[in-house]
Structure 1
């Protein structure tokens, strides 16, 4: 195989790419490919490029060079693909506008590579994208309940949601939404630790700074339905989405605890803006159950002038809840159905700035 390397390198050198680091990347690729052949290892190759543009040029150029080159290029992940292909309008929009932090940090442990792909943080949302490529089939629960998040080296226990998308049996992408943004500084060092069910670990660290392109709109709409007092205080507007902040209270203890407050939002063009996750907390104060939280909604279209908002509460139908402590230990609890009728509040209108 060694006698083929010089001619292969000449093919690469003939590609006219205006990035002076490309030769070093390709040379490293050839060396790793050569070493893998000596050891007869069937390892998936994952490469991180410092620019999406580089990857795009390589894909165009690969049609004019050898099949070996095309095979290597086909395994290069495009940085930012997790957000841009997520199906989430907010993430797609901030990626297109260049508001995200492109990271592309890849680490391989035991034949499985995880790439910390992209991060976005502003007043409306804090989202982390990653991808997994493995030699073997990736099971659905391979990363257990998700990664451990640290802020400036300290464990971060605020509410978050985690989801994966299956691209192929050996390739998955994942998105982590930090639903509660309380107590987060404007700039910090983000730590992300992944642990697989068989004990493998991948650790990442990257600086993160808040994007400031956020508008704030005071709403202060209040209404009472079924002894539940609801106030929607304000709205945060950014390219990433709409974050409604609210609070609710009732004298019915263990009532709000068994329901989920959500909003149906329709713009003046008739488009329904889909609701995503949000963070909330419930506490008992002076004989009342109080709920405080926020909800993330899809971003508005450019021409939208008003929003019609319909709050509602769905009570759970039973199931299983899973709580995860800071060490990753899971506690599962069976939940009995809550036999109450779902509640819909009256709609109200928000005029956008």
Structure 2
């Protein structure tokens, strides 16, 4: 139902707007209205992730203030800079590592703006831990405007990077997003990062199927200091490197990094060139700690090399997962193939607060058990466990529906407890009348194809 969806989207918008709300009596009414409107109806897909090939660089974080290079309207500048955004874009769009780092105050307090062609871009938060550079931003000036790839310089030198992006558009011309940049070379512990965006893409207005582009100059100079507290790096070399071979494929661990924001594992895969390369989005890995707990996959980069006539191909992977929070005795890496598709089977059950817990069987995907629901004046919290091989994907595909057909879909579920085979989440949903008759619903998520023959144990101590 169209009305039902708008009810749910309205709550999400209000929540995002509360986190990114403009304050101050001097705020221009136009900017106040646009930011106070909806900050993005979260899409039904779990994320928008755009991989950009190797280009220029970035990696860093933040100390001190950020400096916008472009000149902008003073009234708009004052309004945008008044955004108390810490814990906003990172909290709303980030994975567990980014969200936890933002909540712990490890990200920089940005609010730096640049304006050109009537489009204002604000960098709100920045985080760099030596593995990932994450930037939160807000763009005002059009419907679903997103920055195209940047030119980046470290201390004036152009360097290479790959990147991934996710975000949500705002009804009244505001788009909030998060970009993860992955550097291809080591960076200094402290430096000036310059970002230059020369094109904005309008995904609401397409020409021949492509987003309409606006050329301009949105530049930022950012003092950066690498986060070092809580970072532990373990490097392997030569015969000491953990490796496993299955048939003609060899997997070797090179480096493991633990930080408050990320667990990073670098591995090499050698395989015959006559084996077709698996599409990037399908060739993934699972990470388990020494207790057997599975950690959320958050992103990766890869680079393959082989010459004509070579019989083998080397692929270097840099894999990123949610932070573990401790240094385990060992890790286990397991290659999987995942198309990110959901099954067609929808499972439902009446949700009666007096009859909790209730369990939905998901066939081969495992099961979902709702244990508690909390009704408040401004939101509803649903607590549930996922048992199965794909808990993080399954946890996202959960919603409630009332007897009038209104659907209530929440934001990104937050992991609150994990043990081998069982993962407990809480999802924030819009305010729901506790007297309504509710139905718990989920769509079965396909389990990934696992290659246990290439399961690699990586000792840490």
* TM-score when normalising by structure 1: 0.64
Among 202, 206, 210, the alignment partner of 2:226 is 210
The residue aligned with 1:291 is 315
> 8 Å contact 1:44–1:111 — kept in the other structure?
no
Does residue 244 of structure 1 match 2:260?
no
Q: CA deviation at 1:111?
A: 4.1
Q: Structure 1 residues 305, 248: CA separation in 2 closer, same or farther (over 3 Å shift)?
A: closer
Is the Cα contact below 8 Å between 2:160 and 2:183 reproduced in 1?
no
Query: Which entry has the higher C-alpha Rg, 1 or 2?
Result: 1
Alignment partners' CA distance in 1, 2:251 and 2:303:
14
What's 1:275 paired with?
297
Corresponding position: 1:344 with 2:451: yes
Q: Label 1:206 to 1:154 Cα distance change in 2 as closer, same or farther (>3 A).
A: same
Mapped partners of 2:131, 2:179: distance in 1: 14
1:78–1:232 distance in 2 versus 1, CA, 3 Å: same
- TM-superposed CA distance for 1:207, in Å, is 1.1
Aligned CA distance change for structure 1 residues 249 and 314 (closer, same or farther; 3 Å): farther
Q: Structure 2 unaligned segments of length 5 or more: list them.
A: 1-22, 36-63, 65-77, 201-212, 342-447
Render the CA deviation track for 1:87-128: whole Å, top value 9, x for unaligned. 411112222333222221123334432111111112222211
2:335 is aligned to 311
Which residues of 2 match residues 6-25 of structure 1 at below 5 A?
none
RCO higher in structure (CA 8 A, sep ≥6): 2
Q: Does the C-alpha gap of structure 1 residues 349 and 223 become closer, same or farther in structure 2, counting only changes over 3 Å?
A: closer
Whether 2:166 is the aligned partner of 1:163: answer yes
> Of residues 84, 94, 112 in structure 2, which corresponds to 1:105?
112
Classify 1:82/1:105 alpha carbon distance in 2 versus 1 (closer, same or farther; 3 Å).
same
Task: Return the alpha-carbon distance in structure 2 between the equivalents of residues 74 and 154 of structure 1.
Answer: 30
Q: Is the 8 A contact 1:125 1:181 kept in 2?
A: no
Residue in 2 aligned with 1:151? Answer: 154
What is residue 180 of structure 2 aligned with on the other side? Answer: 177
Alignment of 1:223 with 2:239, yes or no, is no
Q: Distance in 2 between matches of 1:128 and 1:181?
A: 17
Q: Does 1:127 align with 2:134?
A: yes
Paired residue for 1:91?
98
Q: Measure how far apart 1:160 and its partner are.
A: 1.5
How big is the shift at 1:132?
1.6
Give the CA deviation at 1:159: 1.5
Change (3 A) 1:122 1:87: closer
The whole-number CA distance in structure 2 between the counterparts of 1:316 and 1:250 is 24
CA pair 279-191 structure 1, distance change in 2 beyond 3 A: same
Partner residue in 1 for 2:324: 300
CA–CA distance in structure 2, aligned partners of residues 121 and 303 of structure 1? 20
Distance 1:289 1:316 in 2: 26
What residue in structure 2 maps to residue 264 of structure 1? 286
Contact 1:46–1:77 (CA under 8 A) maintained in structure 2: no
Moved more, 194-203 or 75-84: 75-84
Number of aligned residue pairs: 270
1:222 deviates by: 1.3
